[in-house]
Structures are given as C-alpha cells and as structure tokens.
Structure 1
C-alpha cells in the first residue's frame, strides 16, 4: 500500500478533516471515517479472511442440490430409493388433496359471504321500502 496517499488509515490532516465533516453532515459518516482511521490497515486482512470463509462455505455447499431444481440423488440402496419415491408420491397426493379441500372451503366461504350479503341487502331494501311508504 502506498503510504504517501492522501487518504491513508492514519491521523493525517485530510482524514481528520473528513471525519469532522462527516460528523457535521451525517454522524454515521464521521463514525465510518473514524473506524477507517483506527482500523483501516486491518481491512485488507479482514477482507481476505472473509473471502476465505465464504469460499469454504461455497465449496461445502457445491454438492447440495435444491429439491425442485433436479431429481434427487440415488442413495445406492434400491430398497431405500423405492421407499423414498413411494413416500414422496404419497406426500404429493396428500398435498393435492389438501389443496382441493382448501379450494372447496374457500368457495364455501365465498358462498356463505354472498348469502349473508344478499340477506343484508334484502333487509336493507325491505326497510327502505317501508320507510318510503310511510
């Protein structure tokens, strides 16, 4: 790193002026500049460590597959794979039945609301006609 740079992580007149200006304009900017002055020389090592940990995490996750993106891996045990396929098919059928029941219930509730609204409207019209005839 070039230590003759104007904005280096050190107590230079430029960094102090920017820190004060940051606190005057918007205090988080001044706080960020203070953090840069105090810990700026450690940012490169922090960045390298963060990159290494993210790379490790990505390398561990590379073998994982998302459930909907591709077919599931075979385990190598034919009996287990057959059982898993049957269970997944059963669960999908249960999900389909639940979806149908939810749709039926939704339409039933819509019909109940429509009947209630119709009853209230009829009552309103009856009251209105009674009030007009008086």
Structure 2
C-alpha cells in the first residue's frame, strides 16, 4: 500500500483526527473510520475474494452460456423429462423470436406513422407560409 498517503489504514494523526471527528459528528462515521483503520489492509483482498466468488457462482446463470440449470448440458437423468424440457425451451425460443419480430414490425410502423405525421405538418406549414403572402409564418411575428 502507498505509505505516503495521508489517509491510509493505519494509526496516523490524520486518521485518528477523522475518527474522533466522525464520532463527534455522527457516531457511525467514527465507527466506520475505526473499522477502516483496523481492517483496511484486508479490505482489498476481501473485495477481490468476494468478487471472484460471486462471479464464479453467477457465471453459470448467464443467458446463453450453455451451463447452469437451464442450459442444454444440465441433465436430470430422466430422459423423457429432459426431451420434453428441451422441446419446450425450443418452443419458447421460437415464440421469443416471433415476439421480437412483431415488436420490430410495430416499431417500424410507429416510426413510419411519426414520419408521415411530421411530413403532413411540415407540408401544411409550408402551404400556409407560402399562401400567406406576408413572408412570415402564421403565429410568428414578422421581423
């Protein structure tokens, strides 16, 4: 650890002052500073160990990883159930694909409606502007 740092997990005048100030202002702050002084050196290795443990546990739950409880490699031992489950998962994947296609078609439809509405409003604006003859748009003051 960088031993020239002002605030480090050690009994330095700065950390002691911060601990006392923390207890005076709000006692949990002082307690947190005391914990940092006592256990701060172990915090880095604890964080690394905790992160690697959590990553290894949840890596099997990633979608499409082929591992975990829902992946194709997890077998229960009951062939009929495994075949049924694989068929159902394939059916659900097909339904998801169809829903995604329908959502994309609807998004395209809405986008086209907005474009048509914007075009209609712009055309109406241009007609009113050009037919007004005053050179200014309706609702806008002339300069």
- TM-score interval, smaller chain: 0.5 to 0.7
Whichever structure has more helix as a proportion of its residues is 1
Report the TM-score when normalising by structure 1. 0.59
The total of aligned residue pairs comes to 107
Q: How far did residue 123 of structure 1 move?
A: 0.4
Q: Structure 2 CA distance, aligned partners of 1:97 and 1:80?
A: 25
Mark the runs of 5 or more structure 2 residues left unpaired by the alignment.
1-9, 67-71, 136-143
Q: How far did residue 33 of structure 1 move?
A: 8.4
Mark the runs of 5 or more structure 1 residues left unpaired by the alignment.
1-6, 9-13
For residues 53-112 of structure 1, the C-alpha deviation after alignment (integer angstroms, 9 at most, x for no partner) is x6xx77x949x8334212331111001001100110110011001001001100100110
Q: How far did residue 131 of structure 1 move?
A: 1.5
Structure 1 contact 75–81 (Cα < 8 Å) conserved: yes
Larger Rg: 1
Q: How far did residue 133 of structure 1 move?
A: 6.5
Larger RCO, structures 1/2 (Cα 8 Å, 6+ apart): 1
Identify the residue that residue 117 of structure 2 maps to in structure 1: 116
